[in-house]
Chain A
């Protein structure tokens, strides 16, 4: 069974701090890893990672994948109150009857105080 574990489960920081969110996974046939941000409603897409060692970056957010050690990190620099959200990690399976299946982790609740 595919498994995604995120840590920490929650994190409280002050504006301007840098945070690192972790995601480790077990999947039968790995295809991709995705990061999502969820505020009050639906999760919104941040990054998709398929190759090890290649950083994806969008503004103050960046992410990298390590396929050997089976984990990914999401970094947020110079945090703002608007970054407060639940950050979700998901892995996609490429194999057999589970082709295209996306399994999510529990999420990390990030709270950024002014």
Chain B
């Protein structure tokens, strides 16, 4: 299995631009999570899906952030408009049901100037 695949690996953009992060979970996994990691705040859960349905988006910072999962093999996290404080590493992770461990992608390092 190729594991969780995220793209792009790095993204540098200017304040005010739209940013779209992409994720392909492991085939057969029912849960998909989006996390953001910074030195100050650690790993923060932004949103997670079960069977493509958003379950908890209470961690999404504000209306500038949105996430979708149109099918079982693809999810996007969009930031519009982006701000410098959004700079972080964004991880996508997936898991199967039954309390199995979470598998992480390699992350997208976002820099907003």
Contacts and interface: CB of A to CB of B under 8 A. Distances in A.
B50 interface: yes
A102 B46 CA distance: 11
B103 interface: yes
A97 B55 contact: yes
Question: Main SS of the interface on chain B?
Answer: strand
Interface residues of B, number: 22
Interface in A65-107: 88, 90, 92, 97-107
A95 to B, nearest CB: 12
A98 B56 contact: yes
A103 B102 CA distance: 11
B56 A104 contact: no
Contacts of A97: 55-56
A103 B45 contact: yes
Nearest to B4: A42
A106 B31 CA distance: 23
Contacts of A27: none
A104 B95 CA distance: 15
- Counting chain B CB atoms within 10 Å of each CB, the highest count among A50, A88, A102, A105 belongs to A102
A34 interface: yes
Nearest to A4: B42
A104 B55 contact: no
Contacts of A103: 45
Nearest to A48: B101
Nearest first, the 10 A-B pairs at minimum CB distance are A42-B104, A104-B43, A106-B42, A45-B101, A41-B106, A42-B106, A43-B104, A32-B99, A100-B31, A107-B42
Given A90-B102, A98-B56, 9 more contacts: A32-B99, A42-B91, A43-B43, A48-B101, A88-B43, A100-B55, A102-B45, A104-B35, A104-B44
26 contacts: A32-B99, A34-B102, A41-B107, A42-B91, A42-B104, A42-B105, A42-B106, A43-B43, A43-B104, A45-B102, A45-B103, A48-B101, A50-B99, A92-B99, A97-B56, A98-B56, A99-B50, A99-B55, A100-B48, A100-B50, A101-B56, A102-B33, A102-B45, A102-B48, A106-B42, A107-B43
